[in-house]
Structure 1
Amino acid sequence: MAYPYPYQQQPQPSASAPMPAVPTTVFGPQYCAPYPVDLAIVKKVMTISDGNFVVTDINGNIVFKVKGSLLTLRDRRVLIDAAGNPIATLRRKIMTAHDRWQAYRGESTEAKDLIFTLKRSSLIQFKTKLDVFLATNTKEDVCDFKVKGSWFERSCVVYAGESNTIVAQMHKKHTVQSILIGKDNFTVTVYPNIDYAFIVALIVILDEINEDEKAE
């Protein structure tokens, strides 16, 4: 049976990260695979108009691209599929203390199309910790997902809520090619039944926050 997902050889998840019984859909059920999905994310450092991220499957087929607006280059990103259709708009909320970002469906920025909100867990951090609240979680008492990243160690992990259940892991790889042509390479493993478009969006925002930290 063929699945409409990036190809994967279907390794089994580890015992420490049990497979969710029900797919965790954030952007859409078409982005939830019944097996672990490995994605490669290439960040184009020197680029003008072709977008600043390209996401491929393990065979090199393009799955997503991420583009920035020329007018608000650092404050807005649009996640698009391989056919160029906009999936979500990622927008930084200006003048907030906790580095707050919001994701909307398509190219909308209207409240009715809000998908999730992301913000720092605290103002002072040695390692980046981000809390993610789905749009239905209006009280924001407990986060729906948590991102913990160490850019010194070049890695990050996405957890389900306040639990220790891992839903995705990212590792950053430096290659000779990436150094010569100005690209950063990431590999991401998304666990079964987890929305991998959502995970890509989280990593893009994490990278933007990291770039802000380096600029300070």
Structure 2
Amino acid sequence: MGKVHPQALHSSTTCNFTSKQETFTLWMKSLVLNGKGCTVFDSNGQIVYRVDNYSCRHRYEVHLMDEKGNTLFTLQRKQYKLSKFWEGYRFPATNNDHKGPCFRVCKTHKITKGVSTNEVELGLDKNQSYAHKIESNTCKSAYKISNEFGVVAAELRRKKSHSGVDLGEDVFTMIVEPNTDLSLIMGIVVAFSLMNSKM
């Protein structure tokens, strides 16, 4: 099977704000043979996002794409001294954006009552940095992304069938709240998954 390479996105913007609460299915598998990544389906079963990583041994750069293979974000693994983190670069950058990263996901070592927290810095491309955080529950394999005020933008948990059967460790339900930049949330989810070796 041939490789499906990411293409440049010709649209002037990559923001896709939700107008209502939406539910998605994340399958932490690539649809490309011998590739690593994930595939995201909407509530109608249509592919909306995908990540296909061909260089599985050296995951230093990954592309988040839409269903047509247009690149929305390029994610790069970085290291500063002992700190490792992932940065997301919006693609294509708009005229007002700098060439710097749009966001950065960093690991923290704070674990309270089985919940670990990761820091997310947003707005780095516009020099308007503001914070989000990812709280993950290690016991339930669930996590949520919230802003500095504690307002939840998205929540992920293991997907279950209608009869309550767990569909596996690599299938998640993602609930995204209204007025949320869906592509940005997906970029954060991918960076978090890469950081925690889930992809």
Q: Please classify the TM superposition score into its range, dividing by the shorter chain length.
A: 0.7 to 0.9
Indicate yes or no: 2:139 matched with 1:152.
Answer: yes
Deviation at 1:184, TM superposition (A): 1.1
- Are residues 46 and 39 of structure 1, via their aligned partners in 2, closer, same or farther at CA, if it must alter by over 3 Å? closer
Contact 1:69 1:76 in 2 (8 A): no
Amino acid at match of 1:115: C
The number of residues matched between the two structures is 176
- Are residues 112 and 46 of structure 1, via their aligned partners in 2, closer, same or farther at CA, if it must alter by over 3 Å? closer
Deviation at 1:202, TM superposition (A): 1.6
Q: Match of 1:17?
A: none
Which residue of the other structure, out of 3, 12, 25, is the alignment partner of 1:40?
25
Contact 1:97 1:123 in 2 (8 A): no
**Distance (Å, rounded) in 2 between the aligned partners of 1:139 and 1:56:** 32
Q: Which moved more, 1:92-101 or 1:40-49?
A: 40-49
Indicate yes or no: 2:99 matched with 1:132.
Answer: no
Q: Match of 1:192?
A: 178
Which residue of the other structure, out of 164, 180, 186, is the alignment partner of 2:150?
164
Give the aligned CA root-mean-square deviation in angstroms. 3.1
1:174-206 superposed Cα distances (whole Å, 9 cap, x missing partner): 677955xxx711111111010111112222222
Identical-pair percentage: 22
Indicate yes or no: 2:74 matched with 1:86.
Answer: no
Determine which structure has the larger helix proportion and give its number: 1
Taking the TM superposition and a 5 Å limit, the aligned residue runs for 1:1-216 are 28-29=14-15, 31-44=16-29, 48-49=33-34, 51-70=36-55, 73-106=58-91, 112-120=99-107, 122-123=108-109, 125=111, 127-134=115-122, 135-136=124-125, 138=127, 143-161=130-148, 163-173=149-159, 184-211=170-197
1:11-45 superposed Cα distances (whole Å, 9 cap, x missing partner): xxxxxxxxxxxxxxxx733x102111111110128
Q: Which moved more, 1:42-51 or 1:55-64?
A: 42-51
Contact 2:89 2:102 in 1 (8 A): yes
1:153-193 superposed Cα distances (whole Å, 9 cap, x missing partner): 111111112x12111111123677955xxx71111111101
Amino acid at match of 1:78: H
Deviation at 1:98, TM superposition (A): 3.7
- Are residues 71 and 43 of structure 1, via their aligned partners in 2, closer, same or farther at CA, if it must alter by over 3 Å? closer
Determine which structure has the larger strand proportion and give its number: 2
- Are residues 113 and 71 of structure 1, via their aligned partners in 2, closer, same or farther at CA, if it must alter by over 3 Å? farther
TM (norm. structure 1) is 0.69
Q: Match of 1:23?
A: none
